[in-house]
A and B are shown apart, each in its own frame.
Chain A
Amino acid sequence: MKKINRLFTAIIISTSLLLGCSKFLDLDPPYTQDAENFFQNEQDYLRALTGAYDLLQGMFVSYWIGDIASDNCIAGGESVTDTEGLHQIENMTHGAVNDELRSIMRFNYCGIGRCNFILEPKEVEFDFPSKATILAEAKFLRAFYYFELVKFFGDIPLVVDQRLGVQQIQALERTPSSEVYAQIEKDLNDAIAILSYKSESTHSGIKGRVDKGAALGLLGKVYLYQEKWPLANQTFNILINSGNYSLASDYSTLFLKENENNSETIFDVEYSDQEGGSYGCLICLEGNLTVGYQGIRQYDGPTYGDGNSYNLPTQNLFNSFENYDPRRAATCLNIDDFIANNSVGTTYGIGAGGHTGFYNHKYMKSRDEMLNGIPDNDLTSGVNYRVIRYADILLMAAESSNKIGDDLNSLLYLNMVRQRVGLFEKISSGDLLYEDILKERRSELSCEGHRFFDLVRTGKAADEIDGFVVGKHELFPIPQDEIDLAGGNWPQNPGY
């Protein structure tokens, strides 16, 4: 009996001790790192930088809208409620409730947040030789994400070198786009000062890590969008005169996997075909989903793989090419002609989301990719998205030269692009040359996500896009949910 009494006394004492001891509840998550005090060495910075790059792969939404909002493409797909936001944008009936616009806001701010995580001041700063490069790349990425946002929405809240909590968001205002542009320019100039060209030995040589050329190209484009012609021209000239770039000889194979990272590549979003994926989380994919999405609906024939018939070129785009321009066929695949010429009897499906007879030939699933991928092969293409290529740089250089009155160089750059595809040289000047350059941009860069923004910045959108309302559709509406979640105080963009 005594033993038992003693035992129970011991239990009572030990449990009451436990009660006072709330350390029992101090658990640390197993095998996971805390976000605070994370940066201890080069490896940590590199891993965080990889995380910041990751959001580039969310470019697919912006890429689609670039052509679907313009006269180049229709949304397509299974039905008009399949990715409904794109259909609304196609018809210029979009409003402030639009999942695709919301994704653009979310993905790009997530990218900005990850850059800020690297760039925010640290309690203890660790130094190592490659740190400046890592920070410069983070600045490039931040500039890129902000440029996406300012292009779509105009004034947007500018958050630099800090992470915000739920409460702080409520006090946030929309920053005037001029200030956002100033920050973008500053970040890019900082990056240019540090980064070296891919061709230089000081560059890591790793495919996918941005270089000085990418930063220069983006900075020039940023100037161009603000119509800062001399600065734009000067920036493009540095890039062109660096001698690091040239046009690839064959336009029709430009968008193949094997022609990535060639002399024309300024800046790509990198994708891989080595990881499976599902429709549940598109931003989690490592593959380029646009390739499968733009594939031919229910197609089982040679050369191409089946897909979801998104982002379909219009007859208008097809007609806009000069005769004998090989870029027409490289951009628009006439599916009925293709079947008639290559594989009579092959069938394909027509989605209720729309059909034009053309498929997007630049980013389109090939038969090889079907055989060569990991499930779901609609989502796992390894083909990079070419964000900025040298031909684009040349045309932007031609445009800025024309604007500062240097038609000689302007023609030179324009004709470099035309020569590559075997078209005759232009000899126009002044405003006619300007029109030629814009026309060339469409032929060269269609179905690459640029057209809508080109039409807007050149003031031609209302002429070319049905339903485009001047003073309204230059900008997309800030998603209503984002206004509400930020306290409901932001003014909406005009007209929405």
Chain B
Amino acid sequence: MSSNPNFSKLLLVSFLTLFSFYFTAQTSIITGTVVDENKETMPGVNVKVVGKDGGTTTDFDGKYAITVESDSVKLIFSFIGYRNFTTAINGRNKIDVQLQLSTKSLDEVVVVGYGKTTVKELTGATVQVKGESIERLNIPRMDQALQGQVSGVTINTNSGSPGGSSSIRIRGLSTFGDNDPLILVDGVVYDSEGLNALNPGDIESINVLKDATAGIYGVRAANGVIIIETKKGRKGAKPKFEFGTYYGMQQTTKSLDLLNAAEYALVKNEMFIRGTGSPIFNNTDLKMGTNWQDTIFQNAPIQSYNFGVTGGGENSSFSIGGNYFSQDGIVGGDKSSFDRYNARVNLVNSLTDKLTLSSVLLFTHEERKALPENGIGSVLYNTINAFPTRPVVTADGNYEYFLEVSDIINPVAQIENTHNNSAVNKLVGKQEFEYKINKNLSFTNRLSYNYASVDNKTFSPLAWYGAGKYANSAINANLDPVQVEIAEDVFIERGASVFEQRATYLDLNFESFLNYSRTIEDHNIKATLGTSVFSRRGDVLNGTAFNIPNNSVDFADISANMAQNGYLNNTGSYEFEERLLSNFLRAEYGFKYKYIFSAILRRDGSSKFGPNSRFGYFPSVSGAWIVSDEDFFNVGAISFFKVRTSYGISGNDQIANFAYRALLNGEGVYVFNDIITPGVAIGTAANPDLKWETTRQLNLGVDLQLFNLFDVSANYFIKNTNDLLFSPDVSAIIGSYGPGGYPPIINAGDVSNKGFEFEFAYATDANKNIGMNVNFNFTYIDNEVKSVPSGVEFLPGASFGVGGNTATRFEAGFPIGYFIGYQTDGIFQTQEEIDNSSVKQAGAQVGDLRFVDIDGDGEINFSNNTDKTNLGSPIPKFMFGSVLGFNVFGLDISANLYASLGHKIVRNYERQQPYANQLDYVLDRWTIDNPSNDVPVVTTSINRNGVFSDFYVEDGSYLRLRNIQIGYVLPKKICEKFGTDFVRFYVAANNLFTITNYMGYDPDIGATQGTLSGGMDYGFYPQAKTIMGGVNIKF
């Protein structure tokens, strides 16, 4: 193989000549140079004769030579990120061209499965978000940054803690189980939990495939596909350096309005007097007392340093980036933090004229510290419920114990005793060979890999929170260890312990596909045929060791343990492997770029399923009609008008491995001779006919461009998911409900999502001195469960309170995870009212909540479900995202707003416990003097006010200013003095304000404990409000 470029050029020219010769004798050669907006030459620009096949690209110096036939009329020049430029030949032999950067144009390239297309040719509901708009937000996590950017994509934060995750839902919740979309980074499968490993500064574009055209990914596509592309270089471009940094301070977006000490004493006295007859405080003049929230919240820094260089030589291009990001937690001081180091290398090498090698390497190192969050026993839960009348540290120097209650511990002591560290090393990469067999056909082979090692270390010191506390690991305040009897009268100490775990995961994916593309006069034909072989392996090993010396985190390592004879220490391990084997075919036909039709078929085999139903076929079809290209279409205001539709089937296989067979992985342990003796038991019962979930989706969409200025896009979709993968309750007689036993996973139940999406974009020319840009998107989603497995009325979800009632359900006719409980109708004001009520409410006292008799049997039934009713849905009905930007002579200001409307949140962080502190709404409680009709009486005696009712359900709607920033770009002349091309300074604020009626910390709540726990607030770690300043420099 020759590496002589002249030789290649010669070959190319002769090739082209030969070709043209073949078709027609009348040809001429046109040459020229292509430059960019800065008048720098552009290599790699596609040059084509309009309506003809083939074409050429510009060389290293931006020069091209193209052979045209005598009947050729126009040339078209195209390059990613630039507007297409079409010019009439008019007999010229030399045509020089300057290309302009595109803002959002129809020629923009969108990444779809195993290929690329332009906005104009797109037949599916695919949306692209540019990396810049993500990066510019300075939102620490990629997933959060995507919130409100794309219609139809709902993103809720699972935790606001540093390094936390979000739940990403494309077009609603469609299943009981795993709703995560398939995420691909440069074609490599990435798990959505780990998205925070990505550096927002590395991202070129995010493409969201929302409809059935995602079906090219078959059995994993039902929840939609997100394709993330990292930054690539450009051949022949001079090296460009970029440096960006910001530094900011974070604080909590909100503190709860809790009772202060005086209010607490007053309320609790009233409560105890009513219940037991005697007050608990003799003196209620206690002033403010301890503000426990102040003791755990603090201001915390956040910072990021980003560096990148892109460029290219004659036969290669590169893009290399590095990032350091650090975020401290707003709760818990140095016990909650996230540090991330990213390194990225993207290389594209033309090994020969025909063979291109693309290499991607993304390395991430993360270190995270985390506190217990989102649940009973979390730091915030303890903080909310701690008594304001008690100091953090008592006079005798101990942390306050709150001895009156067993489940609330001192949150400051809890933070001090928490040592929970994790470290992730992740290497994601790809080597891709693309071989151009001829001008129509290319053959791509790629190997991609995703290796991650996740290390956890948790040190549990001997701790004492007061007598009877669940969290004690010592036996007294002197931190004496527990003595464990290991044999008759043989005792050993159980001291501080350390738990360490290493989990390693490796995905290997080999893919091979042919891309065919040909234009014959007015007909465009494209086809993709390929195969994919995927394997994922995981290996988890862990151990716990006791008696760490000095009760000190300094010795927190298994190697340091002093456990006598290794007694008590234990180990565990786990391995898994799963595989996919797939083929796919896509065929596309376009006539004059006016009528476009595309069809996809994928065949997937998944090791998740048994031999009875291992292989599945996933077809989809889509079409688009560019109405504005019709001769009859003559509406001056509409410069572009496209209608498109798609329909297809995709799948979901995200269940446990080997669920189709019965394994002895249950727990069968009993005590013989006083020794715990392991045996065996069947775990999950078998279902050999298990198969994937099927989603059928119809999409109708229009894309409009008005006055060449406004881009408008709208979609309506119906998405029906059938054969849901469930593990619903089965009859007790199956025998699944023992230790380690689970009911079989079956296919049953249907869910429907219908919705409407609307996007609007407007931007003036970015190069003008005064300009503005507006982006607006709107989503409406109607979620409904259509059927549940036979014999099951509903599937119970999250529970309310401690040992309390089921608060959410999966039930036909309602949204997934809707809230079910009693409906209240004010408060019983008088005894007569209770006595004369037509509805009997057992045990009702004056001041109690009055419940509604839903079933009309004249009685409130607390022992069954007949009086429970729908109290709302955790799924927002409407979502709005909006970006507004203005720039005036280098000064720019932008704002990013997000609103989520029509969903409910359950206040589940209040401990139903007489001594627990309460929100200050209780000041408006019912008393004889204050006949409240909203807040029931306070009492310690037995009452029903604590059952799950709409009293605990709040409107979760909110509007949030997610980002606002003011920047200044130095004038070019000044920049050049410092040898730079571009310098921008800015100040910005994230989450500056939130308008909501919700009383909890943060209304942006994901589902932290499974799909049916949406909207359950367990004392949520809120997102931070951040004020920051930064600079971006290019040189």
Q: Which residues of A contact B (CB under 8 A)?
A: 1, 4, 8, 11-12, 15-16, 18-19, 22, 24-27, 29-36, 38, 44, 46-58, 77-84, 88, 93-98, 102-103, 105-107, 109-114, 116-117, 157, 159, 163-166, 169-170, 172, 206-209, 270-275, 281, 283-284, 286, 297-300, 305-306, 347, 349-350, 352-354, 370-376, 378, 382, 480-482, 484-488
Contact = CB atoms under 8 A, between A and B. Distances in A.
The 3 closest A-B pairs by CB, nearest first: A113-B735, A51-B668, A50-B679
A79 B668 contact: no
Contacts of A207: 672-674
Contacts of B667: 54, 284
Contacts of B686: 35
Contact of A164 (B470, B485, B733): B733
Contacts of B876: none
Contacts of A81: 801, 803-805, 912, 946-947
Contacts of A95: 861, 863-864
B33 to A, nearest CB: 31
Contact residue range for chain B?
35 or more
A320 B289 CA distance: 50
Contacts of B924: none
Interface in B515-551: 531, 533
15 contacts: A18-B533, A19-B531, A30-B575, A33-B664, A51-B669, A82-B802, A82-B804, A97-B864, A109-B733, A110-B736, A114-B682, A284-B740, A298-B405, A373-B482, A481-B793
A94 B863 contact: yes
Contacts of B403: 298, 300, 347
A169 B730 contact: yes
A36 B662 contact: yes
A25 B614 contact: yes
Contact of A352 (B405, B744, B862, B942): B942
Given A8-B443, A79-B912, A286-B671, 7 more contacts: A54-B681, A83-B803, A84-B863, A95-B864, A208-B672, A300-B403, A485-B732
Contact of A56 (B355, B658, B670, B803): B670
A123 to B, nearest CB: 15
B663 A32 contact: yes
B671 A208 contact: yes
A352 B946 CA distance: 11
Given A27-B578, A48-B679, A163 B482 contact: no
A253 B537 CA distance: 55
A306 B1 contact: no
Contacts of A376: 470
A117 B682 contact: yes
A34 B738 contact: no
B666 interface: yes
Interface of B: 1, 276, 352, 355, 403-406, 435, 443, 445, 467-468, 470, 472-473, 475, 482-486, 494, 510, 512, 531, 533, 575-579, 581, 583, 605-607, 611, 614-615, 657-658, 661-682, 685-687, 729-741, 744, 746, 791-793, 801-805, 842, 861-865, 912-914, 940-944, 946-947
Given A25-B606, A51-B680, A298 B737 contact: no
Given A8-B443, A78-B803, A159-B733, A25 B512 contact: no
B730 A485 contact: yes
A49 B805 CA distance: 35
B531 A15 contact: yes
Given A54-B679, A208-B673, A24 B579 contact: yes
Contacts of B661: 29, 34-35
Given A484-B792, A485-B729, A114 B681 contact: yes
Contacts of A298: 403-406, 468
A80 B863 CA distance: 11
Contacts of A105: 732
A82 B663 CA distance: 35
A93 B533 contact: no
Scoring B665, B667, B737 by chain A CB atoms within 10 A of each residue's CB, the highest score goes to B737
Contacts of A112: 735
A312 to B, nearest CB: 14
A437 B661 CA distance: 53
A83 B865 CA distance: 16
B676 A35 contact: no
Name the prevailing secondary structure of the B interface residues. loop
B672 A270 contact: yes
A32 B729 contact: no
A180 to B, nearest CB: 13
A25 B607 contact: yes
Contact of B734 (A19, A84, A164): A164
Contacts of B801: 81
A432 B577 CA distance: 71
A49 B669 CA distance: 10
Given A18-B533, A166-B746, A47 B863 contact: no
B865 A97 contact: yes
A480 B672 CA distance: 36
Contacts of A116: 735
Given A207-B674, A482-B731, A487 B791 contact: yes
Nearest to B467: A300
Nearest to B664: A33
Contacts of B665: 32
Contacts of A25: 579, 581, 605-607, 614
A354 B943 CA distance: 11
Nearest to B668: A51
A19 B583 contact: yes
A88 B685 CA distance: 33
A358 B578 CA distance: 57
Given A24-B579, A32-B665, A56-B670, A352 B739 contact: no
Given A50-B669, A51-B679, A272-B674, A486 B467 contact: no
B791 A488 contact: yes
A378 B575 CA distance: 33
B482 A93 contact: no
Contacts of A94: 863
A29 B405 contact: no
Given A283-B738, A482-B731, A30 B468 contact: no
A340 to B, nearest CB: 18
B314 to A, nearest CB: 20
Contact of A107 (B485, B531, B738): B738
A159 B792 CA distance: 22
B951 to A, nearest CB: 14
B940 A352 contact: yes
B493 to A, nearest CB: 12
Contacts of B668: 47-48, 50-52, 54, 114
Scoring A48, A284, A298 by chain B CB atoms within 10 A of each residue's CB, the highest score goes to A298
A385 B738 CA distance: 19
Contacts of A382: 674
Contacts of A486: 731, 733, 791
A24 B741 CA distance: 29
Nearest to A281: B739
Given A113-B734, A274-B676, A84 B805 contact: yes
Nearest to A365: B468
Given A56-B670, A270-B670, A29 B657 contact: yes
Contact of A114 (B494, B579, B735, B865): B735
Given A105-B732, A286-B676, A374-B494, A166 B607 contact: no
B512 A11 contact: yes
A166 B730 contact: yes
A27 B575 CA distance: 13
Nearest to A77: B803
Contact of A482 (B607, B666, B671, B732): B732
Contacts of A270: 670-672, 674
